Chain A
Amino acid sequence: MTGQAPAASGDVLIRVDNLVKHFPVRTAGFINRTVGQVQAVDGVSLAIPRGTTLGLVGETGSGKSTLARCIAGLIPATSGTVHFEGRDITNLPRQRMAPFRRNIQMIFQDPYGSLNPRRRVGAIIGDPFAVHKTVPADERKRKVQDLMERVGLNPEHYNRFPAEFSGGQRQRIGVARALALRPKLIICDEPVSALDVSIQAQVLNLLADLQREYGLTYLFIAHDLEVVRHVSTSVTVMYLGKIAEAGPKNPVYDTPRHPYTAALLSAALAADPEAAAARQRIILTGDIPSPIDPPSGCRFHPRCPKAQELCGRQEPPLEVKAGDAATHLAACHFPVTAGEKLATASRRARP
């Protein structure tokens, strides 16, 4: 199954096969020499059925944002393919990408950085109309105000600047802009991680409503596991440019097979003191290695509590583990079995 996207059945909207993105590392100087490659994304395959949400989880250096930008066509892929509704859209030039661009939109992480501070909100939201000329200029204002209303902004604020809005309102502006062309796929790159908790929930609810209303498909990138669990249909966990585990959300959350998934889940902090005290935590040693020189074999093996000699030698394939559904894949030689205790540290009881 390696290199094959899971869940090939059903109406797949977007399909990524064996996608690779390496960034050359050059020496700074008069003559630039390439001295290495940042292996940001290294052979990732996934497929998202229409109308569902794929949650993409990973920490710094996992390559999740790079993957999203390759899919959105913002940066060229080194190799591999991206198919949208069955058509190959990998590395298309800008003009030929335009019809797909309307269908693939993005929401960005930083509600402050993703809106041009010198432009008025109405112009920002109306930008897609101006670029794609889908709406005549005299109707744009009305259309933009409809969008503003839809995402919960006051349409009278059409002429304001982004600085006059709070973080949550700005993220709504970003949502309205992404929605303008009625896309089929929206790539959400950490859309709520810069927002306050109470505002986070507002934006998540808005995204859920829009999905229902317009039948949207989401690729939802986040590092917050509870948020991903809430929004996703299925989940893909990435570690250092590769998929560690993928599958429908409940099996992945309830019976994680990859020790990294298990560690990530155990490290998530619940806002519940008793649960926090009771939780057996897997404290991983060390930090995430550099993607310039990733570990041999399984990339997780230097931090893995279950690592054996084989793990450093041979890369584990992404496959179905014994007892799992055909859609639940993990890349591990020694998968975690149900009920297995991996905890290397338990929270000391405090008086």
Chain B
Amino acid sequence: MALLEVEDLTVSFPTADGVVKAVRGVSFRVEPGQTLGIVGESGSGKTVLTQTLIGLTPGADINGKAVFDGTDLLQLSEAQLRRIRGARISVIFQDPLTSLHPLYRVGWQIAEMVRAHEASASRKEARDRAVDLLGRVGIPRPEQRVHDYPHQFSGGMRQRAMIAMALALAPKMIIADEPTTALDATVQAQILDLLLQLQEESDTALIMITHDLGVVADIADDVMVMYAGRAAEKGTKHQIFYESHHPYTKGLLESIPNSSVAADRLRPIPGQPPSLINLPAGCKFHPRCGYVLDRCVCAEPELVRIDAVADHGSACWLPAEAAGVGASAEKLREQAVREGRRGAAVEVAEAIAASPEVA
């Protein structure tokens, strides 16, 4: 049974400018000990999605189900959620400097976290746990460093301390929101390795939210690609990277500079991501899509299974067989475009072709 099963989750925020439709009907599952990578750009809703699961989206209109270990997280009261947050689901944020309190010692913060959830733990026990945890996440001389304040730690060490705190109560699931974005490459490699190693030791499930396809390629098992509040494509890491179906996934992969493709020019996705207040009609990606069909302009495709064997889903009107990066898939896509593009889509396609990024 899945550890977390999210079904048709919808989150929107009423604001003075209109309703921000941050998440629009997303379903996914996370198995124990597995890593789900959620990839998306700014405004794709990936952060709101996970914040909602742990009750950090006040004032939002939330619909759907999110069953974690038998309980629907969306039905819990604040007090009940507090007991789950940290103890059974913990979160690692992008910027450890703002997540650690600057005026308390690092060790104290970890110990306090333990004591908050385990009333039976004595002060001394909690302190010892903190030392032990700091050692586990690779902080040298932990028995001395527990007395340090966050500003005495470097960026990488602070992120290690955050991970120590996240691990303190042996959670079943960790949500890591861009945990390495603020770190340097060599430190990022250390942290990702640490996360994998700890995950293997304790069989924790991990949701890794990132904009960096490299991070996902490195540590995820399954991947969900989000665009404008929806899952554009969902599948195993292999499926997403080598048999991608959705033109957005394909576009993301192609726009990364890559030494193996000695191209002079990159192939960006034209245009800008849409505003979540004022979404385009039809498929939300169609104004930027090179394979736009007539139906894309007026009808939004559902995420459907495109693979008979494995659970590979894509929300795109292109035929299911047109998955992959090879020439045959490209031929299928072009054929679909020839057949499916008449009045409406032609102008969108012309507009894309005329945009400066492609010219």
Contacts and interface: CB of A to CB of B under 8 A. Distances in A.
B265 A205 contact: yes
Given A197-B255, A283-B189, A287-B155, A276 B266 contact: no
Interface string A184-216: 000000000000111111101110100000000
B252 interface: yes
Interface stretch (B89-97, B104-112, B210-218, B345-353): B210-218
Contact of A288 (B154, B211, B266): B154
Contacts of A225: 185
Q: In terms of DSSP, what is the predominant structure of the interface of chain A?
A: helix
B186 interface: yes
Q: What 6 A-B pairs have minimum CB-CB distances, sorted nearest first? A: A269-B214, A201-B268, A152-B356, A230-B257, A59-B184, A271-B213
A267 B193 contact: no
15 contacts: A196-B42, A197-B212, A197-B255, A198-B251, A198-B255, A200-B255, A204-B257, A205-B265, A206-B357, A223-B184, A267-B188, A267-B189, A270-B217, A271-B217, A273-B217
B185 A202 contact: no
B282 interface: no
B253 interface: yes
Given A200-B255, A283-B189, A269 B212 contact: yes
A167 interface: yes
Contacts of B42: 167, 196
Interface of A: 59-60, 151-152, 166-169, 196-202, 204-206, 208, 223, 225-227, 229-231, 253, 263-264, 266-273, 275-276, 281, 283-284, 286-288, 345, 347-348, 350
Contact of A284 (B190, B251, B265, B272): B190
B44 to A, nearest CB: 9
Contacts of A266: 189
A272 B256 CA distance: 11
Most buried by A among B211, B214, B255, B257: B257
Most buried by A among B140, B189, B221: B189
A152 B355 CA distance: 8
A272 to B, nearest CB: 6
Given A227-B257, A253-B259, A288-B187, 14 more contacts: A198-B251, A198-B252, A198-B269, A226-B256, A226-B258, A269-B189, A271-B217, A271-B258, A272-B241, A273-B218, A273-B237, A283-B193, A284-B190, A348-B200
Contact of B217 (A169, A205, A269): A269
B145 to A, nearest CB: 13
Contact of B157 (A200, A287, A348): A287
Interface in B15-65: 41-42
Nearest to B258: A226
B185 A205 contact: no
A271 B253 contact: yes
A226 B218 CA distance: 16
Interface string B170-188: 0000000000000011111
B272 A60 contact: no
Contacts of B215: 269
Interface string B236-275: 0110011000000001110111110000111111101100
A335 B242 CA distance: 37
Nearest to A272: B217
A197 B140 CA distance: 36
B186 A59 contact: yes
A198 B190 contact: no
B156 interface: yes
A266 B258 CA distance: 15
